[in-house]
Structure 1
Amino acid sequence: MNYEFLQRAFVTSVIVGIICGIIGSFIILRGMALMGDAISHAILPGVAISYMLGINYFYGAVFFGILTAVGIGVVSQHSRIKNDASIGIVFTAFFALGIILIGKAQTATDLTQILFGNVLAVRSSDMIITIIIGIIIIMCVVIFYKELLVSTFDETLAASYGLPTKWIHYGIMLLLTLATVASLQTVGVVLVVAMLITPASTAYLLTNRFSVMIVLSSFFGALSSVIGLYISFQYNLSSGAVIVIAATIIFIIVFIFSPKQGVLFKALRTRKIRVH
């Protein structure tokens, strides 16, 4: 913590772990893991265009993230194409466009960091944007927690209560886009879906209460970010990849030793039943 760049990396990685844990909890319970993957890849052309225009990548990434969510909704709602197929059509098209634009851009090194993440190279402006995004996401979840909770578990019930389920869905898509943009420097476009899914899945194995799941998911996301940051700095490894590996190892530990859902305890209970 004596180095300024490590201080920025520490703050950024912790915030990214927290917000990915929060949004990931909604994503996996709503069955939208593929949507997270789609948006994380579809923002690539926005990042490339931003670099080519010399502006902050935040603007281009958010624009293409929102465009992806709207495009998927339009295709699935106004045709016979199902949601998963529309996701595949839209995000692969944008991802392909991003690859073409990367080839045209002059800042290939920076774009490689966006693809695979390099939290040790995070700038002060990136850290500030991440902090602002974190505050926005946390405030939105706290303010609209009841609406998000009801629509996540039973969309039909939420509609009967008069809740605008369609706008809630697009609101979550916007928050997902912001979380993805915040994660670019930390884990990159390719690995961001792992930070959205793995910590939340780990928490899902430990509790049946949604509020507790969000807290645990945020904790596991932050913990894996800190562990990955330390190891990547000590051994000169890719920060994004190490953070994801740390999150995966935590998941495996919980997957085996979870008191209620763990494989080990399930096997012991099954053996005890057979003995009786």
Structure 2
Amino acid sequence: MSILQYGFMQRAFIVGILLAMITPCIGITIVLKRMSMIGDALSHASLAGVALGLLLGINPVLGAGATCIVAALGIEAIRKKIPRYSEMAISVVMSAGIGLAGVLSGFVQNSANFNSFLFGSIVSISTGEMAGVCIISVAVLVTLMLFYRELFYMGFDENAARISGVPVRQINFMFTILTALTVSVASRTVGALIVSSMLVVPIACGMQMGKSYKNTLIGAICVAVLTTIAGLVLSYYVGIKPGGTIVLLEVVIFLILVIFKTIIRKGH
């Protein structure tokens, strides 16, 4: 019997592969800007949005998206105020997200609904949620293609990019919104506690495989897609959580690549 004969698994594979393609596209700029923990801050903010959505009786994903956007813009605003300590902005927003999520979750009556966002529930994605992931994925991929060179420059040096004529403020704003939306939909599918790993670990793998920006991104996407497919297959047949399985597979691949690279270096 084929794993893809079930509608819920078809949706899981479509959503999983799309997220595996876009998270490295977002992640590579985050890593280069030394903001690897931004995924953690936004995912905790998304939990506050989920709780707020459940309390107000609206779609929790919409609540997560709204709070993620507010949190992402907050990080960007604080980062501009204290550029020398920009990583502090992430800690401040993450603390606010954790505190708000902790307080609001105490008022949520259906705790099972809230808990499903902690570790994700990719196999229970609805057609509407899949459509949302498709729209955001197209937006991220189109943005990457249109502003590939600008994001490349900004990732390494924002000041140099600004001097060379790159509209840094506008692209930062657009990138911030796309990051927030990506984290909010990924929180629903792979889990708020796991999404930051999917933004960073594939990039770490890509850096072990490629020396250039382009090769690093391609390697990261390949790792993310392969581990997503393997994670979903394992979760179906073994009965384990897909989100955690995907991230553990990515970490295993990273360790293998590091060991392999170390052996080759010593051999030379």
TM (normalized to structure 1)? 0.90
User: Whole-Å Cα distance in 2 between the matches of residues 108 and 229 of structure 1?
Assistant: 25
The residue number in structure 1 matching 2:62 is 59
Residues 154-165 of structure 1: pairs in structure 2 closer than 5 A: 154-165=157-168
Shift of 1:55: 2.2
Q: For the structure 1 residues 267 and 188, does the alpha-carbon distance in structure 2 shift closer, same or farther, using more than 3 Å as the test? A: same
Q: Which of residues 16, 19, 38 in structure 1 aligns to 2:41? A: 38
The residue number in structure 2 matching 1:256 is 259
SS at match of 1:188: coil
Q: Structure 1: which 5+ runs fail to align?
A: 270-276
Kept after mapping to 1: 8 A contact 2:54/2:108: yes
SS at match of 2:106: helix
The residue number in structure 1 matching 2:222 is 219
The residue number in structure 1 matching 2:200 is 197
- Deviation string for 1:232-256 (max 9, x for gaps)? 1111111111111111111112222
For the pair 1:18 / 2:21, whether they are aligned, the reply is yes
- Deviation string for 1:199-232 (max 9, x for gaps)? 1110111112212222221121111111111111
The residue number in structure 1 matching 2:267 is 268
Alignment RMSD = 1.7
For the pair 1:175 / 2:174, whether they are aligned, the reply is no
Partner letter of residue 265 of structure 2? K
For the pair 1:77 / 2:77, whether they are aligned, the reply is no
Shift of 1:79: 5.7
Residues 100-115 of structure 1: pairs in structure 2 closer than 5 A: 100-115=103-118
SS at match of 1:163: coil
Q: For the structure 1 residues 158 and 67, does the alpha-carbon distance in structure 2 shift closer, same or farther, using more than 3 Å as the test? A: same
For the pair 1:244 / 2:247, whether they are aligned, the reply is yes
- Deviation string for 1:167-210 (max 9, x for gaps)? 32232222211221221233200011110001111011111221
- Deviation string for 1:42-68 (max 9, x for gaps)? 221111112222322332222211211
Of stretches 78-87 and 150-159 in structure 1, the one that deviates more from structure 2 is 78-87
Of stretches 70-79 and 241-250 in structure 1, the one that deviates more from structure 2 is 70-79
TM (normalized to structure 2)? 0.92
Q: For the structure 1 residues 80 and 144, does the alpha-carbon distance in structure 2 shift closer, same or farther, using more than 3 Å as the test? A: closer
Kept after mapping to 1: 8 A contact 2:17/2:229: yes
User: Whole-Å Cα distance in 2 between the matches of residues 57 and 140 of structure 1?
Assistant: 26
Kept after mapping to 1: 8 A contact 2:52/2:104: yes
Q: Structure 2: which 5+ runs fail to align?
A: none
Shift of 1:80: 8.8
Shift of 1:154: 2.4
Kept after mapping to 2: 8 A contact 1:21/1:219: no
The size of the alignment, in residue pairs, is: 265
Kept after mapping to 1: 8 A contact 2:38/2:196: no
User: Whole-Å Cα distance in 2 between the matches of residues 15 and 79 of structure 1?
Assistant: 35
Of stretches 50-59 and 212-221 in structure 1, the one that deviates more from structure 2 is 50-59
Shift of 1:81: 8.3
The residue number in structure 2 matching 1:5 is 8
